Amino acid sequence: MNGCPILEINLDKITENTKAVVDLCGNHNIDVLGVTKGFSADPRIVEAIIAGNINGLADARMENIVELRNKNFCQHTTLLRIPRLSNVDNVVKYADASVNSELTVIRALSKAAIQMGKVHDIILMVDLGDLREGIMQENVLETVLQVNKLSGVSIVGLGTNMGCFGGVLPSVENLKMLIELKGIAESYAGVRLRVLSGGGTSTLLLVENRSVPAGINQLRIGEGILLGTDTTNNRKISWLHHDAFRLRAEVIEVKEKPSVPIGEIGKDAFGNTPHFADKGIRKRAILALGKQDVYIEGIYPKDRNCTILGASSDHTIVDITERDAIIKVGDKMEFGLTYSGLLSSSASRYIIKKYRRGE
């Protein structure tokens, strides 16, 4: 439809980012899984990532993995969220490996795999302090021993996740702990754990600094290759593109209005009580874009002289007073995206995707 918000995607920049990350990690004997959940596993973008020579694909949602298989992507694929007990058949059928922390689920995967005559790979997640998923360190050996007894599943490694719930940063210390646990499991359980999966984009900083402990040999990277940012460490990654994605929306009103609403203040459309600073009369643009399209806190105007004042389900209001160039009704405004902005806009059915190559 004419004038819909557009998510413009530069496929070449995504490929270049991927190559840069794969090269850096490759120099340290680390495989890179390209994480596709940030863009709902859009096949065009998946192709761009594959062109960057990743060692496998990974997604947190089985729905995305099934879709990839149906589109004939045959790369090694890891499920990044603990499988639902109710969905183990699909996990075995469509994914090569999954991250796990519950013996009940691993037993169900084993049963399903035996029935299908397959072997499903298990990465056992260990909680090293971020307190999202993973077994506690003291239970690693016992769990490895239990999983090793099962047929249909093969425990191939240990993994950990950081910077998600607790915001805990990956460090030399916590990654060394993973290596130590692998050593213990290998000596006492007689298994070989060939994968040590040391986190996502937030671990790249350690790789850059050459401080990632030897033995960590897999990272699962989404944000870095897509946006060139590392939110957990609060940084832009200088050697990556930051503008592979941009969002464009059309201006539907431009007016000068007071900065403080007139009348008694109740709740806004989302039940919050709004507060406003009085900055006098301001020039404001309203965009045909709202919370139903994108997580507004996850986008920022490309023109740093503009600020988003707020949004409701279908409208976003931008202060354009300080902007140099004139904005008229019918013009488009451009926004950059954070990870949450990317997640929401790529999943929105109201936003049209346009693909570009080159600069």
Residue ranges that bind ligand PLP, judged by CB under 6 A? 35, 37, 60, 80, 161, 200-201, 220-224
- By CB atoms closer than 10 A (0-12, 13-18, 19+), residue 197 is buried
CB of residue 129 to ligand PLP, shortest distance in Å:
15
Which of 270, 279, 269, 265 has the alpha carbon at shortest distance from 322? 279
E-strand stretches of the chain: 6-10, 31-35, 56-59, 77-79, 97-100, 120-125, 153-159, 195-197, 218-221, 229-230, 235-236, 245-258, 281-287, 299-301, 307-311, 316-319, 332-337, 352-356
CB of residue 124 to ligand PLP, shortest distance in Å:
13
Q: Which two tokens stand for residue 133?
A: 């998923």
> Of 5 and 224, which has the nearer Cβ to ligand PLP?
224
Which of 110, 211, 125 has the alpha carbon at shortest distance from 162? 125
CB 33 within 8 A of CB 220: yes
CB of residue 161 to ligand PLP, shortest distance in Å:
5
> Of 83 and 222, which has the nearer Cβ to ligand PLP?
222
> Of 35 and 57, which has the nearer Cβ to ligand PLP?
35
Which of 185, 167, 206, 150 has the alpha carbon at shortest distance from 30? 206
What's the number of CA atoms in the CB half-sphere (13 Å) around residue 268?
Answer: 11
> Of 22 and 306, which has the nearer Cβ to ligand PLP?
22
Q: Which two tokens stand for residue 184?
A: 């213990």
> Of 33 and 320, which has the nearer Cβ to ligand PLP?
33
CB of residue 213 to ligand PLP, shortest distance in Å:
18
So which residues are the catalytic ones?
37
CB of residue 59 to ligand PLP, shortest distance in Å:
8
> Of 98 and 110, which has the nearer Cβ to ligand PLP?
98
CB 274 within 8 A of CB 312: no
CB of residue 120 to ligand PLP, shortest distance in Å:
17
Which of 58, 50, 41 has the alpha carbon at shortest distance from 15? 50
E-strand stretches of 52-183: 56-59, 77-79, 97-100, 120-125, 153-159
Q: Which residue has the tokens 């694909």?
A: 57
Largest CA distance in the chain: 73
